[in-house]
Amino acid sequence: MTLVSPSARATSTGPRLVEGRGELSRAVVQALRSGGEPVYATERVLLSDPYGEDLHLALYLLYELHYRGFDGVGDDREWDPSLLRLRAALESRFLDALRAALPDVPRTAQEAFAPLLVEPLDLSGSLSHRLEKEGELWQLREYAALRSLYHLKEADPHGWVIPRLTGRAKAAMVAIEYDEFGAGRAADMHARLFENLMVDLGLDPAYGRYLDLAPAALLATVNLMSLFGLHRALRGALVGHFACVEVTSSPGSRRLAKAMRRCGAGPAAEHFYAEHVEADAVHEQLVRHEVIGGLVADEPALEEDVAFGCAATLFLEDRLSDHITAAWAAGESALLAPLPRG
């Protein structure tokens, strides 16, 4: 009798696979469904839009094998050499484009983060400000559906950096992650709080539920933290990404909590953002002084990577904000297809 390795069994707990959006993502979907290798033209990667739908869906699908996988896909595909080769090529295309788009990145963490510590007087271009002042419930629902691909795995990719840190940086990172995971209480995990928010908004809180509706501008923001998290060589950039999120979170969360309250979204919807106002204000101090301070003290050569991680995060968040704002200004959905108006 042939025994099936537990690692080769198909997972039944992951989200369902979605359809591809081009040659590369269709090749990944077919490979995952069939158990074979992805079939694609090598030059297709070099010619692909580094911020486009095809590349970012393909990359997201490949990264998801390191999280919860997909229903019906063997767990052993996580380290399949043919999938890893394609992933490496997609990553290079994406990372090269980011570096080319950010030629004047600050060289120090101080230069990168100083502008973020002072809230601008003019918030007219801020998406959270617009939602606070004039957002409608359907827009809050769309925003939550988009952000669910990040918030339902909140803190997971940043956990990969812990074994790659030492001393002050590691101790502070663990302290922050402990809070993110609910300080030992499953009901208080930030991902669980976001599930509750989605229920209040009449959305399906299942992990990965809205992947098929998420545009490339959103997928790129999630892929960035997976890219940084899965590569030890990019640990400095992951710390920069994490710090950027924590530093900028509190003011935006305050505005979004007000938006949820004004639109009557529900107590859990408001609570998610209200919780982040206080928690992230504390985390901001820890991450700047201890995580970044400790990392740069231990490995000063990584400071430029920290600054790059911050800059890349802001760049992609701005692109996402522009996408959402433009769609709504045109009276269109920011998703690939609109949600039912709940």
pLDDT tens for each residue of 298-311:
999 999 999 999 99
The chain-wide mean pLDDT, for the chain, equals 93
Where in the chain is CATH 1.20.910.10? 109-329
Task: Judge contact between 321 and 248, C-beta under 8 A.
Answer: no
Going by pLDDT thresholds of 50, 70 and 90, the confidence category of residue 1 is very low
Listed in sequence order, the DSSP H helices in the chain are 23-34, 42-47, 53-64, 81-101, 109-113, 127-134, 137-151, 156-159, 167-180, 190-200, 216-230, 235-262, 267-286, 293-298, 303-329
What does the alpha-carbon distance between residue 13 and residue 64 come to, in Å, rounded to a whole number? 13
- Which architecture, in CATH terms, is 109-329? Up-down Bundle (1.20)
Q: What is the pLDDT, as a whole number, of residue 151?
A: 96
Q: What is the pLDDT, as a whole number, of residue 276?
A: 86
Q: What is the pLDDT, as a whole number, of residue 4?
A: 44
**Pair of tokens at residue 2:** 């042939």
The DSSP element (H or E) to which 189 belongs, if any, is: none
For residues 232-251, average pLDDT: 94
Q: To which residue do tokens 């201890």 refer?
A: 290
For residues 77-104, average pLDDT: 97
pLDDT tens for each residue of 87-96:
999 999 999 9
pLDDT at 53 over 70: yes
